[in-house]
Amino acid sequence: MKNNKLTPAQENVLQQAAKTGTLQASDLTIRGGARNKVLNSLTSKGFLIALKESDTYDISPQGKEAIGIREDDKPTRKGKIRTGTKLHTVIELLSRPEGAAIHEIMRETGWQQHTVRGTLAGSLKKRLGLTIESEKLEGKDRTYRITSGLDGLFGEAEA
């Protein structure tokens, strides 16, 4: 590695990759040839790792070091989610006092029923550690509601 000096665009991309974990090229604010040039440069320097999925990258330990993150300074990212994602939409629906039925979540996210159920069990309960209660009232669909575990999930913006 001859030149480890980063341009502002490269530094921004590495910081976003460090913050979000897996980086989607489409999430970047830079577009077109500039985006490709920055991503190719960071990949060739070993700062980003191209994953099997198209236009998906992960930051390498060298990339973290290049922006000043030491391996023992790992961010406490576990449980954090980005706002504006489908998972965020599901959490908002389930956080309401009345909760949400599966068909409501399907309508809002465009997911199929099995995907909604898998998200409730996997992403929300196991990965994020949320407590989800379900209730079946007579003549109504089963509703699901998050009862605890939302503290610090969205960082400083929400809680």
User: Model confidence over 79-94: pLDDT tens digits?
Assistant: 567 778 899 899 999 9
CATH 1.10.10.10 fits 86-148, yes or no: yes
CATH code for the domain defined by 8-73: 1.10.10.10
Burial of 56 (0-12, 13-18, 19+ CB in 10 A): middle
pLDDT value of residue 2 = 47
Record the pTM.
0.48
Domain segments of the chain: what residues? 8-73, 86-148
| 43 pLDDT more than 70 | yes
Q: For residue 130, give the nearest of 153, 159, 113, 106 by alpha carbon.
A: 153
Under the banding of pLDDT at 50, 70 and 90, the label for residue 16 is: confident
| 72 pLDDT more than 70 | no
Mean pLDDT for the chain overall: 83
**CA–CA gap between residue 80 and residue 85 (Å, rounded):** 12
91-118 pLDDT, tens per residue?
Answer: 999 999 999 999 999 999 999 999 999 9
Per CATH, 8-73 and 86-148 having the same topology is answered yes
- As given in the structure block, the two tokens for residue 128 are 């994020």
